[in-house]
Amino acid sequence: MSGLIDIYCDFDGTVTRGDTIDYLLEELAMPGWRDIEARWEAGEIGSKECMAQQVPLLQGGWEAVTKVLDTVKIDPTFPKFASWCRRQGLSLKIVSDGIDRVIHYILKREKIHVDNVWANHLVDGPDGRLELTFPHAPQVAGCGSGLCKCKILGAGPARSLKVVIGDGRSDFCWSAEADLVYAKTKLLTHCKANNIPFIAYEDFVSIQNSLKHKLGELHVPEPSLIPGLAQVQGF
């Protein structure tokens, strides 16, 4: 089944229980991060500017960060889902407007294999403070995200069914571009409000069961038929 389905999964709040950046800010940030957060929530700044200002406020360096990350829990159904994707030959990718080193650390801790990770890049600044760079920032005027999920989705294999799994604001944009959307919380509300077809989910067991059904639908003798199937939404 390799090449028929490509799965693009958000991380914070989707794989993890809650937002890792919020955990780090609560535990390690100097005063002032909440004022920056309030500006983002009010729509005055985008996530890129928000995180670029907040991350340098974290104290203790990477060592302190890892101690907080060791307390972060993940969805207990995700490891088995990732293993199932690997056995089925399905490409599972993490695409996050969060922090790459955070994601890699948690995946390694949990011994989870994914095919790729796209996220904002954490570096050690010259003064010892942590800083973020944005190698996947949008090139679209007016978009304040740190990472362009739509661009990454659009660069994927043209002949595959592009599946998006998400929960929050950073998933709004690419939900309209995906062939199949699994949504919860804020993303679910957004899809309803904008008439975007989606499947509601609670955990990765339900997603796995749904995709098993989809694999059966995609089991056709002529590969040329597969792209047409990708146009059918609202499964």
Q: Does residue 80 lie within any of the structural domains? A: yes
Look at residues 189, 155, 150, 193 and name the one whose alpha carbon lies nearest to residue 170: 150
CA-CA distance, 104 to 20, in Å (whole number)? 12
Assigned domain for 177 exists: yes
Q: Above 60 in pLDDT, residue 124?
A: yes
Between residues 139 and 110, the one the model is more confident about: 110
Question: Which CATH number covers residue 154?
Answer: 3.40.50.1000
Domain enclosing residue 189, as ranges? 5-17+74-119+142-229
pLDDT digits (tens, 9 = 90+) for 213-235: 888 877 633 333 334 333 333 33
Going by C-beta distance under 8 Å and a sequence separation of 6 or more, which residues neighbour residue 89? 1, 2, 3
Structural domains of the chain, count: 1
The per-residue pLDDT for 216 is: 83
Domain presence at residue 78: yes
What pLDDT score was predicted for residue 3?
66
Classify residue 178: in a domain, yes or no: yes
- Say whether pLDDT at 159 is over 90: no
160 is a domain residue? yes
Specify if 28 maps to a domain. Answer: no
In the block, which residue shows the tokens 């307390």? Answer: 71
- 130 vs 60: CA distance, rounded Å: 9
Would residue 30 count as lying in a domain? no
Tokens 């056995």 appear where? 87
Q: Is the per-residue pLDDT at 8 higher than 60?
A: yes
Helices (H), 6-148: 20-28, 33-41, 47-54, 61-69, 78-88, 100-109
Q: Tokens 């059966």 belong to which residue? A: 216
Share of the chain above pLDDT 70, in %: 91
Average pLDDT over all residues of the chain: 90
Q: Is 60 exposed, middle or buried (0-12, 13-18, 19+ CB in 10 A)?
A: middle
| pLDDT the model gives residue 1 | 44
Instruction: Give domain status of residue 135, yes or no.
Output: no
